[in-house]
Copies of this chain bind each other. A is one copy, B any other.
């Protein structure tokens, strides 16, 4: 029986993999990658191939959910599955791991940097003051989930910060920060909630993991109109701010001084 190793690619480019992750991929018999649960904006599958030094088969969502090619390869040798960020954030990864486990295939995780902790660090916010995270999906007239607003509401009521991830489409297409902010504003208006208004302080993070991440903080009504750079973006809605957190948001993210 072989082994299935989930390897985190980290946040931005081909150099955000750990040394352990790279060595493991180089030593594997078969290398797969998937980019539909998230996206590495600073690199291409071809660059990754050159770095790993062997062919990499990029899996579609369907391939990964189906899983049979990965499991088949892992029955006979060591398989590396490269995934953006830190592995196992998606249920599909956990499901695949359990299926491998069931068959007696050894599984292992080589961790990579995750936006969950990077967002706090880039903004100078304290990680233990974050409540649960949420995602704003692509919405339409029929699909308008209230959960992102509810999570922000629940966290703010406890003085906690909220990490808001923005959805992406397989094969490209990102929900932009202004779109996500507009959705939250509309939702709060409909639900008569005060948890997210034009005056709410919002932090926007772009290109996290790159040499020059784009960081901005401002009132929801203002920040929507700014040029926030290229995707992938995420938002952080701060709760109560400690003195040093305030200073960090003003100095590092250009938040208004009268916070």
Which residues of chain A have a CB within 8 Å of any CB of chain B? 8, 10-11, 13-20, 22-23, 85-89, 91, 94-95, 97-98, 101-102, 108-109, 111-114, 116-118, 120-122, 124, 126-135, 154, 158, 160, 208-209, 211, 244-245, 247-248, 251-252
Contacts and interface: CB of A to CB of B under 8 A. Distances in A.
Contact of A88 (B20, B95, B121, B211): B121
Nearest to A212: B108
- Name which of A97, A101, A132 has the most chain B CB atoms within 10 A of its CB: A132
Contact of A22 (B19, B87, B97, B112): B19
Given A248-B98, A251-B101, A252-B101, A16 B111 contact: yes
- Name which of A11, A20, A23, A134 has the most chain B CB atoms within 10 A of its CB: A20
B91 A244 contact: yes
Nearest to A93: B121
10 contacts: A10-B18, A18-B18, A19-B19, A87-B121, A89-B127, A91-B244, A98-B252, A101-B252, A111-B121, A130-B133
